Amino acid sequence: MSASRGIPARLAAPEPTWSVETDVVVLGSGAAGLSAALAARPVRDVLLITKDTLDAGSTGWAQGGLAAVLDPNDSIENHVEDTLAAGAGLCDENAVRTLVSEAPTAIRYLMHLGASFDPGAHGGVALTREGGHSHRRIVHAGGDQSGAEVQRTLDESVRLAGVRIIERAFGLDLIIGADSRGRRAVAGIRVALLDENGGVESVGTVTARAVVVATGGYGQVYASTSNPPAVTGDGIALAIRAGVPVAGLEFIQFHPTVLWRGAEARGQQALISEAVRGEGAILLDAAGRRVMAGVHPQEDLAPRDVVAAAISSRMAEAPAGIDDHVYLDARRIENFADRFPSITASCLDAGIDPQHELIPVAPAAHYVCGGVRADIDGTTSMPGLYVVGEAACTGVHGANRLASNSLTEGVVAGTRVGRALSWSLPGDAAPAAEEAPAGLLDSYHRSALRTAMSKYVGVLRTPEGLKQAQSILDTLASNVSPAVVPTRKAFEATNMLTIASAVVAAAQARTESRGCHRRIDVAEPDPAWERHLVATLRNGHIEVQ
């Protein structure tokens, strides 16, 4: 095996000692992966592998809910328009129409599977509003525990359906072969089985006719994020290493309001759902002035990129000497604890009573609008490889996702790919011997990487800051070595380096402000940039076109 300095084209790991065969392997266990596995299972042998437990990803943490047109006063056209407006010129309208048209069916499907959504006052399900939505169309469960209900429902369903599940199994790299037309095609995936501490127990190969990547985003590349620890961009990095185009990685959506717990707070932060503003809360700065008045016609319910940027600009002015958080005033919401039980618990844990006190909040990395290029059926440029959910760039989210479109997308796109694979599988690909330089980044470097990303590649970006971030990442890349002990944390650190380098390269190249990519030096969108940038790995470096 040849060795790598710089971003490796293969994760270094022991030689395989076992092999398994299946029809469809699904990598990842959030809404998208579970929906894909469930839809393919009645006909196919499906193996679902996940590096942690089934519920360790982002889905279970989603608070707000699932967007779908269910109110007769709303319309598919309204939802399409809101999604396109939030996406700031980079949405694919056909993909958006498919998502929005199938969203109500997806909600009913989840209910048939046993999901229990909060009931409305006049029958049907309750609908709330979030930023960028012109109508009430967010379905929720347990008040603010919507994702947990979706995860529970789908977990149970895949187990009942007989999907084979392997937890604590890390998808390292695709096994590439050639299909009957001689094209590079997926033949399977190399997998490391992990022990409880994240050490490698063994490595094996899973051969399959189709590999569905549904590993979510990469919020953990930042020091402060709403995402749980498992969200390290593994599937997107794996695609980059396999030479599959990834796009839009610079569009990282910062949620405007995570609970601020001090300047030193690191890792996953408690989300204060946008639905809190949907129910009437407003943002105030430390001097008591409204943050969103006069900024956007929808004020506190403007699209998320607008609110996060307005908060960041206001913090930079340091009103009343405070430059690292603002406040959410939710005191006018009646029975706050009943409507938002888990947010109430997080606030109380921080010593704040949200019914009577202001909640300190700040933006944090939340959602990735880009990913592996795929259509809404998960199809990519590589035969046999499908990508769904947050790991995919389907054009549904453009340059900025509309709130609560993502769980819905996971269920719609996951089900579409699973159904397509149950109808027909791609042709066999004969594995070819591909020799690629292998290496790993020691997990020790994760902290420097995250600090650099939060400091220089946050809500508001400058050319100098991006250059600084690139220089730090280049230094980290020079530490990549095949001698690093293979562990879950080292695999993740290497994936994080791969992704962060692609984010920074794309953010440097995109000399405009659009959606959730905001540059201080060029504050406006440039029509010439109404297109996606594609990142590829070449000789240990990321290049963008």
Q: Indicate the residue among 251 and 367 with the shorter CB distance to ligand SIN.
A: 367
CB of 62 to ligand SIN, least distance (A): 6
> Is 139 or 238 the residue whose CB approaches ligand SIN more closely?
139
Minimum Å gap between C-beta 151 and ligand SIN is: 14
Q: What is the DSSP letter of 117?
A: P
Do residues 481 and 5 lie in contact, with contact meaning Cβ atoms separated by under 8 Å? yes
Residue 406 vs residues 106, 347, 377, 402: alpha-carbon distances, Å? 12, 25, 15, 8
How far from 51 is each of 23, 119, 165, 300, 367, CA to CA, in Å?
20, 35, 11, 38, 20
Q: Locate the DSSP E strands across 220-268.
A: 224-225, 246-247, 252-259, 267-268
Helices 488-509 and 446-456, axial angle in degrees (round to 10): 20
Question: Of the candidates 481, 508, 491, 482, which has an alpha carbon nearest to the alpha carbon of residue 446?
Answer: 491
Q: If you write DSSP's letter for every residue of 326-388 in order, what string do you get?
A: EEEE-TTSTTHHHH-HHHHHHHHHTT--TTTSPEEEEEEEEEES-EEE--TT-B-SSTTEEE-
In the complex, what is the shortest distance from the CB of residue 329 to ligand SIN, in angstroms, rounded to a whole number? Answer: 17
Neighbouring C-alpha atoms within 13 Å toward the C-beta of 298: 19
For residues 485, 499, 38, 414, the Cα torsion angle rounded to the nearest 10 degrees is -170
- Least distance to ligand SIN, CB of residue 60, Å: 13
Structure tokens at 52: 């942690």
Q: Measured between alpha carbons, how far is 119 from 126 in angstroms, rounded to an integer? A: 5
Of 64 and 395, CB closest to ligand SIN: 64
Rounded least distance, CB 63 to ligand SIN, Å: 4
**Least distance in angstroms from the C-beta of 404 to ligand SIN:** 4
Residue type at 221 in one-letter notation: V
Supply the minimum distance, in Å, between the C-beta of residue 118 and ligand SIN: 14
The two most distant CA atoms of the chain are separated, in Å, by: 68
Tell me whether residue 367 or residue 456 sits nearer to ligand SIN (CB atom).
Answer: 367
Q: How far is the CB of 90 from ligand SIN (least distance, A)?
A: 18
Distance, CA of 484 to CA of 476 (rounded, Å): 13
Nearer to ligand SIN, 168 or 304 (CB): 304
Q: Which residues bind ligand SIN (CB under 6 A)?
A: 62-64, 273-275, 367, 403-404, 406
The neighbouring-strand residues paired with 218 are: none
> Which member of 168, 241, 304, 373 is catalytic?
304
Mark whether 332 is an active-site residue. no
Of residues 405 and 415, the one with the C-beta less far from ligand SIN: 405
Question: Helix (H, G, I), strand (E, B), or coil: what is residue 88?
Answer: coil
Residues 6+ apart with CB under 8 A from 464: none
Nearer residue to ligand SIN within complex by CB, 239 or 308 = 308
Nearer to ligand SIN, 64 or 360 (CB): 64
Look up residue 505 and give its two tokens. 């390269």
Which DSSP helix (H) or strand (E) runs through 169?
A: strand 169-178
The residues that are catalytic are 304
